């Protein structure tokens, strides 16, 4: 008797399942598809959920110890982009397990969220909203006009490219630092590539769109902040680990940074007593830049298609590092 393919979604959220029933039917058409709601409480429960799976649709992360005990596992489709933080890629490579991600699903929605944070910080919207709700009519706080200013983007993947277009529409000059810089690529996107030191020296706003790797960990540190113009605005919708948190807090307290818009944090959920929660020059959101109905629909469409294509012999969106 032929072995029937088994695919498991071990850590779903109920709302995701309800919104993607028709998408998941693609998996049910050729495989036994099992969904568990909520994250496993420990590794033992995780193993119990996926121990005999041939494929996994992964919402959050999978410890290496769990992967080792999934003896039938052939492919993991991670519902996101930065898979290296959530899956042990070295172990997957050693065992010949394919790992896929979902590139491009959130380009528009994260770029728009970055723009919302930028506009909010530039015009002090959270502070003004809070004071007005307390009955204060404060028109003394100067806003920051973005047209005619210079923004520096660190990282230039799909989200960075989309955000660059939005910034140019506002009349901002866009400088970019990324690993792949060329005049031809800059001309194609209407941006100027430059070294990090140039971004820090010239830019009124710095926005992060790079992946988190060993090379980019704490990329923005005390030295980086020291090179920035007084009053620079910082936007981070990428990874908190790109920024030294202590250095960030110092720069905000000292006024070196005029403000920050942050959607990602070193510790999530962000503790209620964290210093960032009491700063009136910071706008924070709970890591929701990706979360629009359109983006989530695209996410699960891609994540599901990764599994369909893999078991049809046409693997796509494979990640190696």
Look at the domain 107-284 and name its fold: Rossmann fold (3.40.50)
Q: What is the pLDDT of residues 197-249, one digit of tens each?
A: 999 999 999 999 999 888 999 999 999 999 999 999 999 999 999 999 999 99
The pLDDT value recorded for residue 2 is 66
- Per the annotation, the verdict on 268 as an active-site residue is yes
Q: What is the pLDDT of residues 103-160, one digit of tens each?
A: 999 999 999 999 999 999 999 999 999 999 999 999 999 999 999 999 999 999 999 9
The rounded Cα 130 to chain-centroid distance in angstroms is 28
Angle between helices 107-122 and 293-311 (to 10 degrees): 150
Residues in the chain: 321
- Per the annotation, the verdict on 287 as an active-site residue is yes
| Same CATH fold assignment for domains 6-105+293-311 and 107-284 | yes
Q: How confident is the model at residue 17 (pLDDT cuts 50, 70, 90)?
A: confident
The pLDDT value recorded for residue 1 is 39
Task: Name which of 1-5, 74-78, 117-121 the model is least confident about.
Answer: 1-5
Catalytic-role residue among 39, 95, 202, 287: 287
State how far the alpha carbon of 219 is from the alpha carbons of 53, 144, 242, in Å: 38, 26, 5
Catalytic-role residue among 239, 245, 267, 321: 239
Which CATH code fits 6-105+293-311?
3.40.50.720
Backbone angles phi, psi at 202, to 5 degrees: -100, -25
- pTM exceeds 0.85 for this model: yes
pLDDT at 262 over 80: yes
Angle (nearest 5°) at CA 6 between 69 and 298: 105
Taken in order 89, 91, 94, 96, is the CA torsion positive or negative? negative
Mean pLDDT of 21-30: 92
State how far the alpha carbon of 81 is from the alpha carbons of 103, 266, 281, in Å: 6, 18, 30
The pLDDT value recorded for residue 85 is 83
Q: How confident is the model at residue 319 (pLDDT cuts 50, 70, 90)?
A: very high
Q: What is the pLDDT of residues 36-59, one digit of tens each?
A: 999 999 999 999 999 999 999 999
Catalytic-role residue among 268, 274, 298, 321: 268
State how far the alpha carbon of 72 is from the alpha carbons of 33, 64, 77, 89, in Å: 15, 15, 15, 17
> Per the structure block, which two tokens stand in for 191?
């941006």
The pLDDT value recorded for residue 3 is 79
Q: What is the pLDDT of residues 273-292, one digit of tens each?
A: 999 999 999 999 999 999 99
Angle between helices 158-169 and 107-122 (to 10 degrees): 40
Break the chain into its structural domains and give their ranges. Answer: 6-105+293-311, 107-284
State how far the alpha carbon of 101 is from the alpha carbons of 104, 202, 301, in Å: 10, 35, 12
Instruction: For the chain, give the mean pLDDT.
Output: 95
């Amino acid at each position: 008797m032929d072995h029937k393919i088994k695919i498991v979604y071990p850590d779903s959220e109920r709302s995701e399942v309800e919104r993607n029933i028709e998408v998941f039917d693609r998996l049910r058409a050729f495989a036994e598809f099992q969904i568990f709601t909520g994250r496993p409480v420990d590794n033992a429960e995780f193993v119990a959920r996926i121990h005999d799976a041939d494929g996994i649709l992964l919402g959050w992360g999978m410890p290496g110890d769990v992967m080792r005990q999934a003896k039938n596992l052939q492919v993991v489709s991670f519902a996101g982009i930065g898979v290296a933080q959530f899956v042990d890629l070295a172990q997957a490579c050693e065992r010949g397990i394919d790992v896929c991600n979902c590139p491009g699903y959130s380009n528009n929605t994260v770029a728009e969220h970055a723009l919302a944070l930028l506009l909010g910080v530039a015009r002090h919207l959270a502070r003004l909203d809070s004071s007005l709700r307390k009955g204060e009519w404060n028109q003394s706080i100067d806003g920051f006009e973005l047209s005619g200013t210079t923004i520096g983007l660190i990282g230039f993947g799909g989200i960075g490219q989309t955000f660059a277009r939005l910034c140019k529409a506002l009349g901002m000059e866009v400088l970019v630092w990324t690993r792949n810089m060329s005049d031809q690529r800059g001309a194609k996107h209407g941006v100027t590539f430059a070294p990090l030191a140039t971004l820090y020296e010239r830019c009124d706003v710095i926005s992060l769109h790079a992946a988190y790797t060993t090379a980019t960990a704490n990329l923005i540190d005390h030295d980086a902040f020291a090179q920035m113009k007084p009053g620079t605005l910082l936007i981070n919708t990428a990874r908190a680990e790109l920024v030294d948190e202590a250095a960030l807090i110092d720069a905000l307290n000292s006024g070196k940074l005029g403000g920050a818009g942050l959607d990602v944090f070193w510790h999530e959920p962000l503790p209620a007593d964290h210093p960032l929660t009491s700063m009136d020059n910071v706008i924070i959101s709970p890591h929701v830049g990706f979360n629009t109905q359109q983006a989530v629909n695209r996410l699960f469409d891609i994540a599901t298609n990764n599994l369909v294509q893999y078991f049809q012999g046409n693997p796509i969106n494979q990640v190696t590092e």
